[in-house]
């Protein structure tokens, strides 16, 4: 994480820590407010690789899993919290996202058994070898998956 407001981040981190022992509706509201405050200060999040090579679920063992890369840039905007409910398009103007999710076909099929909604994502999937690729981009309020616009 870069360009993050240290005070806003510390407040958010503290609330998350407290929620581990006392998670109430009030705590959840405070966390949400703190997260909005953190993002309104702007930040750059770069996750170069989160991956799980193999996974076992139910009676299936050692299935190739997934990898994820994310670059998220949120521009500083004191009104970001207001945009969430009143002007989502303005909210999207503050965010740039470039991400890539690679899911093995076997893991995708396994997930589809427990969460059938993943079948809807299949229309956007790009097949590369033994994987499904999803490149999600958000720039200038335009959202796309594998180059196909969602707007």
**91-114 tens-digit pLDDT:** 999 999 999 999 999 888 888 877
Contact between residue 55 and residue 65 where contact means Cβ atoms under 8 Å apart: yes
Contact between residue 35 and residue 55 where contact means Cβ atoms under 8 Å apart: no
Largest distance between two CA atoms of the chain: 50
Check residue 140 and give its pLDDT.
92
Scored b (16 or more CB within 10 A) or e, 62-82 reads ebbbbbbbbebbbeebeebbe
Contact between residue 46 and residue 71 where contact means Cβ atoms under 8 Å apart: yes
Check residue 109 and give its pLDDT.
84
Q: If you average pLDDT over residues 25-43, what whole number do you get?
A: 95
The pair of structure tokens assigned to 64 is 């190739």
Full-model pTM: 0.83
**52-97 tens-digit pLDDT:** 999 887 777 788 999 999 999 999 999 999 998 899 889 999 999 9
């Amino acid at each position: 994480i870069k360009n993050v407001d240290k005070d806003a981040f510390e407040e958010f981190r503290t609330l998350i820590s407290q929620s581990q022992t006392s998670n109430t509706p009030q705590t959840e509201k405070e966390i949400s407010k703190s997260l909005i405050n953190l993002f309104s200060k702007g930040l750059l999040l770069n996750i170069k690789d989160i991956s799980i090579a193999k996974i076992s679920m139910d009676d299936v063992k050692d299935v190739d899993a997934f990898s994820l890369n994310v670059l998220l840039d949120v521009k500083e905007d004191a009104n970001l919290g207001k945009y969430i409910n009143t002007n989502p398009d303005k909210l999207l103007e503050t965010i740039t996202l470039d991400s890539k999710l690679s899911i093995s076909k076997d893991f995708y099929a396994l997930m589809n058994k427990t969460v059938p909604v993943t079948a809807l994502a299949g229309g956007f999937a790009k097949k590369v070898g033994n994987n499904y690729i999803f490149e999600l981009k958000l720039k200038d309020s335009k959202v796309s998956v594998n180059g196909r616009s969602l707007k």
